[in-house]
Each structure stands twice: as C-alpha cells, then as structure tokens.
Structure 1
Amino acid sequence: MTKPARRPPAVAGMFYPSNPSELRTTIDQSFRNRKFGPGMPPPSLTERKIYGMVTPHAGYMYSGAVAANGYYQISSHEFSNAVIVGPNHYGIGSGVATMKGGVWETPLGQVEVNGQWAEGMAKRSGIVDFDDMAHSRDHCLEVQLPFLQYIRDQFTIVPVILMMQDIDTAYDLGKAIADTAAESDDTVLIASSDLTHYEPNESAHKKDSELISTMLELNVPKFYSVLERMDVSACGYGAIASIMVAAKSLGATRGELLKYATSGDVTGDTSAVVGYSSVVFV
C-alpha cells in the first residue's frame, strides 16, 4: 500500500511565521486590524450564504489583514471542505492540477486532501489532471491553510493550481466545481489571487477598481475584457474567473467588496505596489 502524498510547507518562515504560536498571533492580529482587517476576531455573526470568495496570497505582513476580511465572513459557516484555486507561479506540472489524496502540512498541523471530491470534479471536467508535483513549491494555496485552520478545527481541501487561465478553462473548471459542490452543502470555494503587480499606487488602485467592478457583477466576459484592455497584472485571474463561474452557477447574484488595499497602503512605500482584494460572492 503506497503512503499518501505528503506536502510539507514550502513558504513557512517566509510568507508567514513557522512558529505555531507566532503564526496564531499573527493571524489573530490580522483579524483585529481595524484599518485593513475586520477589526475583531472570528467567528462572525454572518448568516447569509456565501458561495465563494477571492483572497490575496502575499506575505501576511502585507496582505494578511485584507485576507482576514473574507475568512471572518466564512467563519460562521459550517463547512467541512474547501476548494482552493490559485495560479501556478513556477510553471511546474500540468496546466490544471489537483491531487488524488494525501496531506498538506503547516505549522498548525495537517490537512487532508479530499480525493473523492477531487475525482468527482475531474470526471466532470475535460482538463483537470492529478499532479502532486505541480503543488510542490507554490505559495498561493499554502498561505490560505493557516487562516482556514484558525477558523475551523476539521476540514479537507481540494487544491487546484492553474497554468491555463484562459476563459474557456475558467468556464470548464468553474462548471465542474459547481456541479460537484451542488451535491452537498459543506464546501467553501476560494480563489487565491493578488491583483496589480509592481506599479505605482495610483495606477494599481485605478486598474484594480475597474477589474473588481466586473467581479462584483459576476461578469466573466467583462472581467477578461478589462484584464486585456487595461493590462491588469493579476496573477490568479483564471482562479478568480473559475470561482466566479462556480459561484454564479450555484446561485450567487453579486460580489461584495469587503476590503481593497495595496502593499503601498500597508507599508507606505507607494512606488511599486501589489494590489489585494477580499471579495465574497453572495
């Protein structure tokens, strides 16, 4: 019998603290941050249905408080499974890659991959592959796990990482996710993406504002149109689009912007910033 795949932390000690106590403190401070975060610790009192969300994946010192807004909103949900879709930054492995099983490790413990869910999603899609190697180095999914572990004791994940981020891929993957999620009511859908990269603060705010407006409309064709017309360097645009497709298919009617900020807003260095958004689809 082969041992399940073990995916150790790739960016602990870089994107977030490797010490469990320090990590918990950092996440707690992200929730309590009144300027960029929700300003209070979870759980929230939110009772409305949240079909999906967009969250950033930079180092916690830059984007942790912005990310905390979305995690605060879903902290009242009784989910037991999280589908997390993000961009492949390293070009390793398949174009659309998930895993058949195994565990992901963070300083806060292990999280099991929901292989059955992943196989159901792959059967409904023509493009999803099983490729553990594609997940080996990337930070975009890993940095979401400690936040999930902070708000939920037990849950499984379906990690999906994308090199292919075109609109056809987004529709195929989004539909497969929605059709699989429709079979139960215990799954939260997460798109991991930063927005504009390494432009002046004013430019990032302008470009990202226009892109976010299409997310709030759940308008995928318009989203891709703005991406191209304004040359928005959002790294996980295909992840955002696929979760938009899935959320709308499941019943979401709009997006809601919880918080937007850039690294420049957080650190004060506004010369070359990265944009972060926390959006929920309701």
Structure 2
Amino acid sequence: MVDREMICAGSFYPSLKSDCQRVINSLLEQDTQAQTLENFEPKAAVVPHAGWEFCGDVTAAVFNALKQSKISIDVFLLFGAVHLRGVLKPAVFDGAAWQTPIGIVDVNQQLADLLVKSSSVFEKDSRCHKGEHSLEVVCPFIKHLYPDAEICPVLVPPSEDAVQAGKDAAEAVKKIEDKNVFCIASSDLTHYGRRFDFSPAGEGEAGCKWAKEVNDKAFIEAAVSMNAKSVLSKGIYERSSCGPGAVAAAVEYARQVGSKEGKLLKHTHSFEVISSNYLCSSDSTVGYAGIIF
C-alpha cells in the first residue's frame, strides 16, 4: 500500500525509473571532488530540496561521501523543511510507504511509533506530508542507492521544538537495536532577490554574492560547529534557511549520537548554476549546501 504519492516527479526530477537512475548515476560520477571521510563515521547530513538541475550535484556529494564511508544504513530518519501553513509541531508520517519512480520506499513503523510515544514534541500527521516536497526529492536517491532501506519522514517547523526534536529522536533511535539509522535534514539556504522580497545587500550579482558568502556562510558555520540553537536562530532571523527547524533537529540529533563536528562537502547557488549552465543571469538566487556530521 502506498500512502504518499509523488507530487514533484517530472518537474523537480525525472518521472521515469530509467531516467531517474541515469541522472542519479551521472550526478554521482560528476562529483570529481568526492571527499574521503577517513576516521569519520557520519551520523547525519543536510541536503537541499530544489530541482535536481539546480542542486542534484550537492545531494550527490553527500551520498558519495556516505557510500565511501561504508556505513550500513537500514533506516533514514528524514527531517524536512515546512513550506505549508498549519504545521505547528514536528509531524511524523504514519502511513506505510512512499512512492518514487524507482520503486516503493517503506516507512519504518517502529521508529515512527517510538518518536510519538516517547516524546510530546512529535505528533502523527500524514496529511501535511502529501503536499510538501522537501523530503520527496531525496527519496529517489535513497531508493536507488539503498534499495532495501526504510524511511521515517518528519516535517520540522522552525520552532523551539526543533532542537528538542533532535534530542528526543536520538533517544528513540537508541532503543532500536537491530537497525542502523542515519538522519538527513532537507533545507535550501538563503532565498535572495526580488522574487523573495529579500535584498539587504542590493540587487544583482553583488547581492547574490552576499547571500552566499555572508548569509549562507554564517548559517553553515553554525551547523558545522554543531550549534543547533544558533542554526535555528540564524535561519529564522537572518533568513538564511528555509528549513532551519529540520537542520537544527539534525544537528542536535548528530550531537546526541556522538558527532563532534560537521563537514561542508559542497555549497552552490542557483545564480551560479544559471550563469554556468544557461549562460544568462538572474536577479534572484537560492543557496544549496551539502553537509555531513
């Protein structure tokens, strides 16, 4: 039974299985600066959630690092950004499975139940997931590279509950003895320019450069230093992330399960992608970062 059908296939990423697999493989192969994580056992990561043509290479960098680390992953705990109104608490998907072009991804009911039963922060709500794209775009990567893995999708709004959600999730995961869990947060970074009504450093290339080199950088530094509260604050008040709740939860989760630091794998902006791939410019831009903890 599939409880969550695709809403972005054919726009954010290919809708056909063969095309999806081909694009993912191509993105992985193009990651020529793949980083070897020696003496580093990752517990969590941050990936973007825009269309693959803009940020698929960033997501690929994270999955390349995961594959090189050779860690075993049975369940992906997914913390997603919230673009819809009315999601006031971390919302756990309580259905059976998610659809992807590559195949069905089952939901790990044990972890979903543990999150809700062991913490008042979480609530079960599958309805809000059906119209939210932030976790859908990463699921084909998971299905292609970890075909037997399950997921536990959670939407995390930017509230004070976010940090506690990460802490409580870590405690819940410790109760699962027969599954290796890896946490992924989904968030884009600074949305800058006329389109987003946010241009404190002016318009055009100079403003887009500020968005990446100043605003994004401060958020990334908070993340890699494992400061979940700063991640949440900067994302909200400096508008440097559309999913600060998800990232804050992942950072705190990683800290609770033993991570000491984060590593930035790749950081780009749609302004750069458009300039490079389409030979034109834009007065707006969105940031994308791949970080591993």
The normalised TM-score by structure 2 is 0.86
Query: CA offsets, 1:159-199, max 9 Å, x none?
Result: 0013x312x21222111210122234601100000000133
The change in CA–CA distance for 1:46 and 1:58 in structure 2 (over 3 A counts) is farther
Specify whether residues 257 and 86 from structure 1 end up closer, same or farther in structure 2 by C-alpha distance, changes over 3 A only. Answer: same
CA distance in 1, matches of 2:248, 2:21: 31
Q: Structure 1, residues 183-223: CA drift from partner, whole Å, max 9, x if none?
A: 34601100000000133421211200111011111012333
AA in 1 matched with 2:218: E
- Code of the aligned partner of 1:258: L
* C-alpha distance in 1 between matches for 2:124 and 2:37: 37
Aligned match of 1:216:
224
Equivalence for 1:85:
79
Q: Is the 8 A contact 1:94 1:129 kept in 2?
A: no
Q: Which residue of 266, 271, 275 corresponds with 2:283? A: 271
Instruction: Provide Cα deviations, 1:62-115, integer angstroms capped at 9, x if missing partner.
Output: 000011111111123210100011122122556321122311001100011111
1:59 counterpart residue number: 51
1:187 is aligned to 181
Q: Is the 8 A contact 1:99 1:115 kept in 2?
A: no
Alignment partners' CA distance in 2, 1:198 and 1:30: 26
The match for 1:177 among 169, 173, 181 is 169
State the alpha-carbon separation in 1 of the partners of residues 264 and 136 from structure 2. Answer: 23
- Length, aligned pairs only: 270
State the distance in 2 between where 1:50 and 1:187 align. 11
Look up the equivalent residue of 1:127 and give its one-letter code: V
- Number of the residue aligned with 1:20: 17
**1:165 counterpart = 2:145:** no
Match of 1:49 in 2: 41
Letter in 2 for 1:132: S
* Matched-pair contact (CA < 8 Å) for 2:49–2:134: yes
Q: Is the 8 A contact 1:126 1:172 kept in 2?
A: no
Report the CA distance between 1:127 and its aligned residue.
2.2
2:103 aligned with 1:95, yes or no? no
CA deviations 1:111-160 (Å, max 9, x no partner) are: 11111111111122212111111110111111010111121120110000
Q: CA RMSD in A?
A: 2.0
Corresponding residue for residue 120 of structure 1: 114
**3-state secondary structure, aligned to 1:6:** coil
- Distance between the aligned counterparts of 1:22 and 1:5, measured in 2? 22
Q: 1:7 is aligned with what amino acid?
A: R
Moved more, 147-156 or 181-190: 181-190
Which residue number in structure 1 is paired with residue 209 of structure 2? 202
Aligned to 2:196: none
Q: Deviations over 1:221-261 (max 9, x none)?
A: 333443355x2241100000001011001100001000100
The runs of 4+ residues in structure 1 deviating greater than 6 Å are 44-47
Asked if the contact 1:94–1:131 (Cα under 8 Å) also holds between the matched residues in 2, the reply is no
Matched, 1:139 2:147: no
- Displacement of 1:270 in angstroms is 4.6
State the distance in 2 between where 1:28 and 1:222 align: 35
1:264 CA displacement: 1.3
> Deviation of residue 46 (structure 1)?
6.2
Relative distance call for 1:39 and 1:30 in structure 2 (3 A) is farther
Structure 2 unpaired stretches of 5+: 194-206, 276-280
Contact persistence 1:217–1:255 (CA under 8 A): yes
Contact 1:100 1:116 in 2 (8 A): no
Structure 1 window deviating more from structure 2 (19-28 vs 175-184): it is 175-184
